[in-house]
Amino acid sequence: MEDKDHREVIDEQIGKDEGPDNPEDEDSPVSILIANPHDRFVKAAMENRELAREFLETYVPEKVKAMCNLDEHQLIKQTFVDQDLSEHITDILFRVPHKKPGEPPFYFYFLKEHLRNNDKLTAFRDWSYKTKIARFHMEDTGTREVPYILSFVLYNGKTEFTAARKIADLVAVDDKDLARDMIEGYELINLREIPDDVLMDRIWLAVLTMALKHVDDPDVVAMIHKLSYHLREIERSGKGHDLLEAFLTYLMRAARVDNKEVLVQAIRTHISEEAGEKALTLGERLVREGMERGLAKGLERGIERGIERGIEKGAKKTAREIALRLLSKGFDLREAAEISGLSIKEVASLH
């Protein structure tokens, strides 16, 4: 047998070593050993409870440590790293209970990047992984609470670590206050708190905001009349046919009005005769479609109910046949009723 090149021998040995440490847990995302030696070492080390305990004791802020039981940390055997990056990043997640019963646990997330150079998107990925962890917590606990998640990135590159540590520093705006606003929250447009006269300052936008705000009003027609000037201006522009059609369609389908035709008539009073005819045609089509959908739904329910009644009728017939056979065999009324599921009165009427 020819001597093998030393590289081939090493490759074969690595291939042998790539099996799982624990054959009984081959599918565990944390226990699987892959070819990357960094992954293998980091995963094996962090699975050791004493090492993990020291890691948390060393790097978790004192204020947070005072609120949780580090001795009861739990290793979550799940990865949150994108599949295409799994060869370059190792992640470990620990869940630690709160000292106060009933309070949500703390999550400590460990990331080891195997890239030797700084990756400017590390903070962005950290942000996305925390979102995945929060969703995991909600699904796992059946709650809608967002837990506290503290992440750590372990770097052992040869150059100075210069990548941004905050997602706000990656946002492409010069004003970092704007970047922080983007990360820390969202702008709320609460239509219920904005007066109508403010909403109606905008010609085009008012059609959207006023419709959404007042679609559930009993007198939704009054809202249409308020938009008289807006509807005329939009039609006059020649650029709003699609918007007017969408406006009418929305009201026809969502407004709580028994007679939908009054909506069409209200809109027609504020637009040209030609546009009014189009609105009327559209309204008639929507009314017809609504009636057809209602008829189809009613027919479907009728069929379902008919099937149910047929099953009930068949079951009743079978129960009566069973009761009659029991009576013919010498069973008394009580026994026949109990076995067949009929009442004693129903069994008695079979005689």
Please tell me whether residues 87 and 31 are part of one structural domain: yes
Does residue 121 lie within any of the structural domains? Answer: yes
Please tell me whether residues 14 and 108 are part of one structural domain: yes
Q: What is the pLDDT of residue 85?
A: 59
| Element containing residue 186 per DSSP (H, E) | none
How large is the C-alpha radius of gyration of the chain? 35
From first to last of the 351 residues of the chain, give the pLDDT tens digit: 444 443 343 344 334 333 334 434 444 444 444 446 767 788 888 889 999 999 999 999 999 999 999 999 999 988 887 766 555 567 889 999 999 998 999 999 988 765 555 678 888 888 988 999 999 999 999 999 999 999 998 887 777 888 888 888 888 888 888 888 888 877 889 999 999 999 999 999 999 999 999 989 988 889 989 998 998 898 889 888 888 888 888 887 788 877 777 877 887 787 777 766 665 566 555 555 554 454 445 445 554 555 555 556 556 667 777 778 777 777 777 777 776 777 888 878 876
Q: What is the pLDDT of residue 145?
A: 93
**Residue range(s) defining the domain that contains residue 315:** 292-348
For residue 46, give the DSSP letter. Answer: H
User: In whole angstroms, what separates CA 321 from the centre of its chain?
Assistant: 52
Please tell me whether residues 304 and 320 are part of one structural domain: yes
Residue listed under structure tokens 């109910």 = 305
Does residue 82 lie within any of the structural domains? Answer: yes
Please tell me whether residues 300 and 267 are part of one structural domain: no
Does residue 286 lie within any of the structural domains? Answer: no
CB-count exposure of residue 134 (10 Å: 0-12, 13-18, 19+): middle
Q: What is the pLDDT of residue 24?
A: 41
Residue listed under structure tokens 């004693």 = 344
- Model pTM score: 0.59
Residues 6+ apart with CB under 8 A from 137: 104, 105, 107, 143, 145, 146, 147
Q: In this structure, are residues 34 and 18 in contact, taking their beta carbons and an 8 Å threshold?
A: yes
Per-position b or e across 167-203, b if 16+ CB within 10 A of its CB: bbebbeeeeeeebeeeeeeeeeeeeeeeeeeebbeeb
Please tell me whether residues 116 and 258 are part of one structural domain: no
Q: In this structure, are residues 141 and 63 in contact, taking their beta carbons and an 8 Å threshold?
A: no
Does residue 118 lie within any of the structural domains? Answer: yes
